[in-house]
Structure 1
Amino acid sequence: MGTQQRRRADALREALATRVVVADGAMGTMLQAQDPTLEDFQQLEGCNEVLNATRPDIVASVHRAYLDAGVDMVETNTFGANATALAEYEIADRIVELSETGARIAREVADEFTAADGRQRWVLGSMGPGTKLPTLGHVPYRVIRDGYQQNAEGLVAGGADALIVETSQDLLQTKAAVLGARRALDASGVDLPLLVSLAFETTGVMLVGSEIGAALTALEPLGIDMIGLNCSTGPAEMTEHLRYLARHARIPLLCMPNAGLPVLTSEGAHFPLGPEGLADAEQQFVTEYGLSLVGGCCGTTPEHLRSLVERVRDLRPAEREPQPEPGAASLYA
């Protein structure tokens, strides 16, 4: 497994350096659309990660739908497989189990598609933000760092080709996840790409108030392989942040926006941006800001990703000549 993982990781790094790689879209809404029962959730309603153990068929069907749409990479169903999220369900002792199972499901489906046509598909291990903000004292730093290490250990053991710390809302939480992941990778002896994707509110800052320059200055020295944005907003609200990263980041860029800003209706949140709108926006990001990895987040569907694949399939990321700024950062600026 280790040798195969290394080969896939090397191939992924090569792909990210030479073309646009397309990841998948929303996971949670796709799972919920299949009406899992309370028994499927083991009485832990809403804990999607439990479905890795009880209903791998449902999870695999989501991966299969996105791969059918033509994506290069699928994310594991492990967004909440961390210390704070699973502690709320009183199953924090299952972090490794659910992470490994989630990665193994995605690995099997990705390998199935690769075997069918010879085109490599990759598995991206999802490491979400959890439910507590360490900057505000909600949880001790060491607790979440060690939980993320377990999360990453399970993902690596299950066959993930890269790890993504995503929907990051707090720089201290992000640092804990990156360093926990790095500990797991060091222990495993496998050098996988480590990506960070930040979530910025419509106010223009992260949830705890950090602006994009502070985030880049704090995180880039940790040795991450990519940085970018996902969730919280649609692509329109991400433009200025991506422009900043394109000008100053030394490392490759990624973006996985929501299908627009959600509109609250009597039936719940509705995401207004259609497949062509998402494809238009991300094509522009690739050609203007040199993005190497694109995909979707909340509200995006296989139809969104099919349009995106068709639009960026033959593109190369725009050449960037970043001008890094020497600097120091506080939490905010």
Structure 2
Amino acid sequence: MNLKDKKLLILDGACGTSIQNMDLPDAVWDDNEGCNEYLCLTAPERITEMHLEFLKAGADVIETNSFGGTSIVLGEYGLEDRVKEINTAAVMCAKKAIEQHGAGWIAGSVGPGTKLPSLGHISVDDLAAAYKEQIEALVDAGVDLILLETAQDILQLKTVLVTCYEVLEEKKQDIPVMVSVTIESTGTMLAGTDIAAAAAIIEPYPVFSFGLNCATGPEDMLSSIRWLSHNWPGRISCLPNQGLPEIIDGKTTYPMSPDAYAGELKTFVADWGVSLAGGCCGTTPVHIATLKKTLAESAPAERKIQA
């Protein structure tokens, strides 16, 4: 089945949380601790194992370990010249997991980076050049989707969208593009844009889906999901955190139980028409397995878009 034909897609959970929970020797970091993407080179079997656990839990789509895979972020570790190598390795780790599992699709993860153009951290031209390099590497390596995720700045989002579609046109590739913004508990993106304004920016592009991820648990996403249900004509995605993080015994933890998480997302699917459901920070394979079971008999609600 083509992924575009599947009415309800389940995505995986948190890459960062999974890596945090791994018992990794110091040697795999090579003094690059914190650069999760580097593990695609030094511990590829562990990254493949992470992907495989989410596939076994029921995920249809796994996201590559390439969230910070631009030269901008990698440059903070002196790895700016290894963008193609690292992003290619990230896709290979995911491909091996799918080969072992026998099914699944790969979403090439493209994060917001650490420098926002609206705040004057970086020029649009430099940002676009960095995204072009990463997206070219992901496309060449053979991803099935491109996930532009955790967008916090509307100028950053427009830059990566334009760049992404330029790369796809240059390479004559028809790869679905998912867009996911981060809406804070204040009701806007970090730079102050609300969901309606973000939708207006994205609307001219032929994106596969538009939705939310990160920052909050599902309960704080409800108003934005409801707005999308009534106003966004395309598919809607929702990948929430497992509540707000808490520090317990010096470790960051997320309090939302798998049952509570799955129950909230079932409502989003059944009542508001979400058709791509997964998780962000704190989401484990247990959460995804519970989500898969909970949504077994569910289908996205029919939506009537307001004129």
The 5 A counterparts of 1:13-92 are 13-15=4-6, 19-92=7-80
Question: What is residue 256 of structure 2 aligned with on the other side?
Answer: 273
Q: 1:221: Cα distance to partner?
A: 1.2
Question: C-alpha displacement at 1:286, in angstroms?
Answer: 0.2
The Cα of 1:183 is off from its aligned counterpart by 2.1
Q: Name 2:287's counterpart in structure 1.
A: 304
DSSP 3-state at the match of 1:208: coil
d(CA) in 2 for partners of 1:113 and 1:265? Answer: 35
In 2, Cα distance between equivalents of 1:204 and 1:83: 31
**1:292 alignment counterpart:** 275
| Segment of structure 1 superposing worse, 287-296 or 140-149 | 140-149
Task: Please state whether the residue corresponding to 1:222 is helix, strand or coil.
Answer: coil
CA offset digits 1:15-58 (Å, max 9, x no partner) = 1xxx2110100111211222333431221111011111111011
| 1:92-123 deviations in Å (ceiling 9; x for gaps) | 22222211110121012113212xxxxx4111
Please say if residues 177 and 207 of structure 2, whose CA atoms lie closer than 8 Å, have aligned partners that are also in contact: yes
Give 2:91's aligned residue. Answer: 103
| 1:40 match: secondary structure | helix
The normalised TM-score by structure 2 is 0.96
Q: Name the counterpart of 2:181.
A: 198
* Cα deviation code 1:182-207 (max 9, x no counterpart): 12212222201001001011111110
Residue 294 of structure 2: SS of its match in structure 1? Answer: helix
Q: What do residues 141-192 of structure 1 show as CA deviations (whole Å, max 9, x unaligned)?
A: 1111121111111111222100010011001111121122212212222201
Identity %: 37
Question: How many residues of Structure 1 are paired with residues of Structure 2 in the alignment?
Answer: 307
Task: Name stretches of at least 5 consecutive residues in structure 1 with no aligned partner.
Answer: 1-7, 115-119, 325-333
Structure 2 matches for 1:138-157, cutoff 5 A? 138-157=121-140
Pick which of 195-204 and 182-191 moved more: 182-191
CA distance in 1, matches of 2:125, 2:92: 27
Stretch moving more, 27-36 or 229-238:
27-36
Kindly tell me: are residues 68 and 187 of structure 1, through their superposed partners in 2, closer, same or farther at Cα, counting changes over 3 Å?
Answer: same
Asked if 1:236 is matched to 2:219, the reply is: yes
> What is the alpha-carbon distance in structure 2 between the residues aligned to residue 177 and residue 38 of structure 1?
34
* Residues 1:262 and 2:245 are matched in the alignment: yes
- Alpha-carbon contact 1:199-1:229 (below 8 Å) kept: yes
Superposed displacement of residue 323, structure 1: 2.0
